[in-house]
């Protein structure tokens, strides 16, 4: 049976529970929309600030729970918790300053004496579906903007991380968010699809695979949909770049959390003039990464989330090698952990080049110049983030103008993200943007009031 926990302020349910129970829980949450939207901005800000402070107070517990649930190395789990503290704190600030504008309308004779005021209003209750790889901060990027606008929400966390989601929900309600105005439902995929189809929600925000995300959008009806769906994160190393720094960042960006990050460095393109020295730098940086138990304070790379993922990564590597690619390092498991793997000259049509590997694998290839690099970076279906190491300002501007990506990172890796910036992809990588203020824009819609003073 589904049970309502008054102390935790929400519903909890097992994956085996049926669709009707999920819909019942969602209905009870969404009925609170008129109450939450009436919260004044200062109260929303106070609540969000309390959430931020309580996460900080419980930061080590959160980090160890994340490590336990999703096998994230402890030092990376701590970094994630710190980011979540910032995300909720930033949302508290945005709750106080998110507003509209005044538009004088005396632009033609019939509009003289009229003034337009615009103001964003929340669209309605939100359904938020999050992945396993950032079970706290990616949840924060969905939950905090909703709270900043006064939107009740149902969160469907990843099946691997229900405890992290529930711990956050406890903190949210202890921080005075209205009781019953949110729930974390660990339900089956079938129940989740019914929630997506339900008219109870005005908003769907999903982070996960492209295949699932576009399917859910097709089922969502008239909801406003935000999808963050990953990509193949290309990185170009120009011949004038700081090669040692670029290699250090590329090694971390490709292999932190075993590559289970949607903007993990996957395709590394290097100018011919610096290819060999960069490759040497990169291999040394990869060799220095510590592989081991994620609970170890110093571990950089732990196990993948499950055996199915390990088998898929092995299959993709075998496919590339069978077509002429060369394994420069890794390519196998050691003590139950898939070693960081660098593949040279993977064919353009193999999965390692075309699809998101979501594992500790990066490809390395030589290009003749920046023109070829931009062309190759633009190929394929995805467009989340791309990176370029260069000292050529004209190349940086050209990349920003030409690359079909949601974000272009200069002199750092595509895996860079500030929690305040707009974040999201183009093409198969999704629609809409996250980043607190930008998610608030997605979750709201403008209304215009025209005043006639004549």
Find, among 100, 105, 94, the residue nearest to 119 by Cα: 100
Q: What is the biggest distance separating any 2 CA atoms in the chain, rounded to whole angstroms?
A: 80
Find, among 370, 363, 358, 305, the residue nearest to 330 by Cα: 363
Q: Which residues does residue 12 pair with via DSSP β-bridges, in sequence order? A: 3
Find, among 142, 141, 133, the residue nearest to 77 by Cα: 133
The residue from 228, 285, 434, 441 that is catalytic is: 228
- Kind of pairing between the strands at 203-207 and 333-334: unpaired
How many CB atoms are located within 10 Å of the residue 335 CB? 9
Which positions ≥6 away from 87 have C-beta within 8 Å? 52, 137, 140, 141, 144, 419, 436
Q: Does 190 qualify as catalytic in the annotation?
A: no
Give the H/E segment covering residue 62: helix 59-70
Find, among 74, 93, 78, the residue nearest to 136 by Cα: 78
Backbone angles phi, psi at 343, to 5 degrees: -110, 125
Which positions ≥6 away from 311 have C-beta within 8 Å? none
Q: Which two tokens stand for residue 384?
A: 């989340």
Half-sphere exposure of 397 (CA within 13 A, CB side): 3
The residue from 187, 262, 274, 350 that is catalytic is: 262
Please spell the DSSP secondary structure of 298-325, one letter per residue: T-SB---S-HHHHHHHHHHHHHHHHTT-
Find, among 223, 162, 165, 229, the residue nearest to 196 by Cα: 223
Q: Does 228 qualify as catalytic in the annotation?
A: yes
Structural contact between residues 134 and 262, judged by C-beta atoms closer than 8 angstroms: no
Find, among 217, 219, 214, 216, the residue nearest to 230 by Cα: 214
Positions marked catalytic: 228, 262
């Amino acid at each position: 049976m589904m049970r309502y926990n008054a102390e935790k302020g929400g519903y909890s349910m097992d994956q085996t529970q049926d669709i009707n129970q999920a819909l019942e829980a969602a209905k009870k949450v969404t009925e609170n929309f008129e109450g939450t939207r009436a919260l004044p901005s200062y109260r929303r800000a106070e609540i969000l600030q309390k959430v931020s402070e309580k996460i900080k107070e419980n930061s080590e517990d959160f980090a160890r729970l994340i490590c336990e649930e999703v096998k994230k190395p402890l030092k990376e789990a701590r970094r994630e918790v710190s980011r979540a503290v910032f995300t909720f704190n930033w949302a508290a600030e945005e709750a106080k300053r998110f507003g509209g504008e005044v538009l004088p309308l005396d632009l033609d004779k019939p509009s003289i004496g009229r003034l337009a005021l615009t103001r964003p209003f929340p669209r309605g209750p939100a359904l938020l579906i999050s992945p396993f790889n950032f079970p706290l901060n990616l949840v924060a990027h969905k939950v905090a903007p909703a709270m900043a606008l006064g939107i009740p929400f149902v969160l469907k966390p990843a099946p691997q991380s229900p405890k992290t989601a529930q711990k956050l929900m406890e903190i949210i309600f202890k921080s005075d968010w209205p009781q019953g105005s949110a729930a974390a439902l660990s339900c089956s995929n079938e129940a989740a699809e019914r929630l997506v189809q339900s008219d109870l929600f005005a908003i769907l925000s999903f982070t996960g695979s492209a295949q699932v995300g576009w399917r859910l959008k097709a089922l969502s009806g008239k909801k406003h949909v935000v999808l963050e769906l990953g990509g193949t994160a290309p990185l170009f190393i120009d011949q004038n770049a700081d090669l040692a720094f670029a290699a250090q960042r590329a090694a971390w960006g490709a292999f932190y959390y075993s590559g289970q990050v949607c903007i993990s460095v996957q395709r590394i393109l290097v100018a011919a003039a610096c290819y060999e020295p960069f490759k040497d730098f990169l291999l040394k940086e990869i060799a220095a990464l510590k592989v081991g138990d994620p609970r170890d304070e110093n571990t950089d790379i732990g196990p993948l989330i499950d055996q199915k993922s390990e088998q898929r990564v092995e299959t993709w590597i075998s496919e590339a090698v069978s077509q002429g690619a060369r394994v420069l390092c890794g390519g196998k498991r050691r003590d139950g952990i898939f070693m960081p793997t660098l593949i040279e000259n993977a064919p353009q049509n193999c999965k390692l080049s075309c699809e998101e590997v979501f594992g500790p694998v990066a490809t390395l290839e030589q290009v003749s110049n920046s023109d070829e690099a931009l062309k190759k970076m633009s190929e394929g279906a995805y467009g989340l983030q791309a990176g370029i190491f260069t000292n050529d300002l004209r190349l940086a501007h050209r990349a920003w103008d030409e690359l079909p990506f949601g974000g272009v990172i200069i002199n750092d890796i595509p895996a860079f993200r500030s929690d305040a910036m707009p974040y999201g992809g183009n093409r198969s990588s999704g629609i809409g943007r996250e980043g607190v203020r930008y998610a608030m824009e997605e979750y709201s819609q403008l209304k215009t009031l025209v005043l006639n003073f004549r």
